[in-house]
Amino acid sequence: MSLNINEIVYLIRAGEQHPGLLRTAVIYYQTLAVDSDAADENGRTPIFFIPDLHIMSENRGIGYGQGKYFHLNQNRKGILIAFLSRLIELRNMGQEFQRLKVYQLGDMNDLWREAKHWWGEDVVTMLARQIGDHEDLFKLFRDLGTERLAGNHDNKLRDEEVRKQVAESPVNALLPMDMLHPNARSFSWGSACRMDMIHADQVDKSESGWFRRLINPVGCRFAQHDDGLFNFGEIDEWAHEIQPEGPEDARFRQPPVDYRGRDDDRKIVKFVRSIYDYETCAPEATDEMREARRVAVMIGHTHQPRIVLGDPTHDYTMIDCGSWVNKSSLAGEPKEKAEEKAFWNAQVGVLSGNEAALLQMGTESSE
C-alpha cells in the first residue's frame, strides 16, 4: 500500500538530524484518477520532483543577491541538502521509502550565467567548476539515483556531442549523462496510465526562435543584485522568459487552479493550454506507454508552484513544481503588501499512489 501525503510529510519532518525540515508544509494537494497503490514500471514509489535550482559556482554567483537570487538560493541550500539526506535516511531505514525515486525537472545547472564570456564557455569546464563548489549536493543527487531533464538554462546538454564530451570527462561521475533526458521523460503509473515530465520552455514562445535563443542567455546576465547605479536584480526576469506569464503565486494549502471554461485571463489560459496541447510523451517511450492514459504532466521552468486542472478536452492534471530561486508573493495581496508576505521558493513535488502534492520545504519565512 502506498504512503499517503500526510505520512510522507510526517516522516520527512521526523528527522532529528534535520530540524530545518520541521516546518515543511503542503502548498497544493490533488487526488488523481489512478490506482491508490500505483507505482511506476519498476515498482518505484513515492516519487519526488525537484524543480529549477540554477546552480552556479561560488565565483560566478557573486553579485546575484548575495547568493539569494538565481544561484540556488544559498540561504536554502542547507534545507535542500537536509531534505535529500533525509530521503537517503528513510530509504535505508525501512520498507516505505526503499523504492523511492527522485527526478530533477531541468535548469539544475545555470550555464547561461556560469559562462565567463558572453559568447559562452566549454560545458565540461563550467560543470567542473560547479561541482568543485557544490560537491556535497551533487553527491546526494547521485546517491539517490536522480534522473534529470535539461532546461533552457542548461540547454547545451540537449546537444548530443556536448553530452558525449561530458560523459567522457570526470564530471560524469557526479553528473552521469545516462541519467539525463534532453527533452522529456515518461513513466508508467498504475495500470494503463502514465506520467510525463517536461521543462516547459518547449512551449514558451519567448524561448523559441533564433533571436530569443541568442539574446536570452546574454540578457539574463544583467539580472544581478549588486548595489550600484542600476539594480537589474529588481527586474522580474523570468516574467519575461515566460510567455504568457503564469498566474499569481499560491497561498499555502490551496486547492488546484481550475481553468476549465475560463476566459477572464486569456494569457493564463493560453499558457496552460499550451502545456496540455504539447505532446509530452518522451521520444523513447514505448508504444504501450504512448497509448496509456496520461494522468499528469510535471513541469519546471516557470518558478510558479501550482497544480492546475485541465479543460474538458483534457482529463489530466498539470503540476508545476516551482523552484529554489527567488521569492513568491502571496496570491491576492496588493502589490504594496506583497513583499511583506513573500516567501522564499523551496518547493518539491510528490507523487504517491493516487495523491499528488507540492511541498514548501523547511520554513515559510521570508528570512
Q: What is the pLDDT of residue 66?
A: 57
Give the residue numbers spanning the domain of 341. 5-360
Contact (Cβ atoms closer than 8 angstroms) between residue 305 and residue 331: no
Can you tell me the distance from the alpha carbon of 96 to that of 2, in angstroms, rounded to the nearest whole number? 8
Residue 264 resides in a domain:
yes
169-173, 200-204, 225-229: the lowest-pLDDT one: 225-229
Residues ≥6 apart with Cβ < 8 Å to 337: none
Q: Does any domain span residue 156?
A: yes
99: domain CATH number is 3.60.21
In this predicted model, what pLDDT tens digit does every residue of 146-166 receive, in sequence order? 999 999 999 999 999 999 999
Give bridge partners of residue 198 from the DSSP assignment: 184, 299
Cα–Cα–Cα angle for 169, 166, 135, nearest 5°?
A: 75
Q: Name the domain count of the chain.
A: 1
DSSP 96-134: GGTT-EEEE-S-SB-HHHH-SSTT---HHHHHHHHHHH-
- 3-state SS class at 340: helix
Quick: pLDDT tens for 308-329.
876 656 678 889 999 998 776 5
Indicate the pLDDT class of residue 99, thresholds 50, 70 and 90: very high
- The answer to whether residue 28 is domain-embedded is yes
Of 251 and 283, the one with more pLDDT: 283
Q: What is the pLDDT of residue 262?
A: 53
pLDDT at position 269 = 64
pLDDT at residue 136 tops 90: yes
Q: What is the DSSP letter of 323?
A: B
Q: How far is 278 from 271, CA to CA, in rounded Å?
A: 11
C-alpha cell at 102: 527522485
- pLDDT of 314 reads 67
Q: What is the mean pLDDT of the chain?
A: 82
pLDDT at residue 210, as a whole number? 67
The Cα diameter of the chain in Å comes to 59
User: What whole-number percentage of the chain has pLDDT above 70?
Assistant: 77
312 SS3 class: coil
Place of cell 523511492: 100
Check residues 175 and 265 and name the one with the higher pLDDT.
Answer: 175
pLDDT at 306 over 60: yes
pLDDT of residue 250: 37
Averaged pLDDT, 293-301: 93
Beta strands per DSSP E along 275-354: 293-299, 306-309, 317-320, 327-328, 343-344, 347-352
Give 231's Cβ-side CA count (13 Å radius).
9
Share of the chain above pLDDT 90, in %: 51
As a whole number of angstroms, the distance between CA 296 and CA 315 comes to 9
Whole-model pTM?
0.88
**pLDDT class for 61, splitting at 50, 70, 90?**
confident
pLDDT at 96: 87
The one-character DSSP state at 207 is G
- For residue 274, the model assigns a pLDDT of 81
124 neighbors 173 (Cβ within 8 angstroms):
no
Average pLDDT value for residue range 175-201: 95
* Whether 156 contacts 123, CB under 8 Å: yes
Grid coordinates 523570468 are at which residue?
Answer: 238
Q: Which residue has the cell 564530451?
A: 165
- The span from the first CA to the last CA of the chain, in angstroms, equals 39
What pLDDT does 95 receive?
82
Q: Is the pLDDT of residue 241 over 50?
A: no
Task: Identify the DSSP state of 14.
Answer: T
Residue 362 reports pLDDT greater than 50: yes
Predicted confidence (pLDDT) per residue in 16-52, tens digit: 888 889 888 888 899 998 999 999 999 999 999 999 9
In this predicted model, which residue has the larger pLDDT, 171 or 310? 171
Phi-psi region of 361 (alpha: psi -120 to 50; beta: other; left: phi over 0): beta
- Residue pair 186/287 in contact (Cβ under 8 Å)? The answer is no
pLDDT of residue 2: 85
Is residue 97 predicted with pLDDT exceeding 50? yes
Q: Are 183 and 150 in contact (CB under 8 A)?
A: yes
In a domain, 128, yes or no: yes
Split at pLDDT 50, 70, 90, the class of 275 is confident
Residue 366 within any structural domain of the chain = no
Residue 357 or residue 216, greater confidence: 357
Lowest mean pLDDT among 245-259, 263-277, 308-322: 245-259
> So what's the pLDDT on residue 259?
55
Contacts of 43 (CB under 8 A, 6+ apart): 99
Give CA separation, 268 vs 5, 61, 272, in Å: 28, 32, 6
DSSP state at residue 179: G
Average pLDDT over residues 95-122: 92
Most confident of the ranges 40-54, 73-87, 239-253, 350-364: 40-54
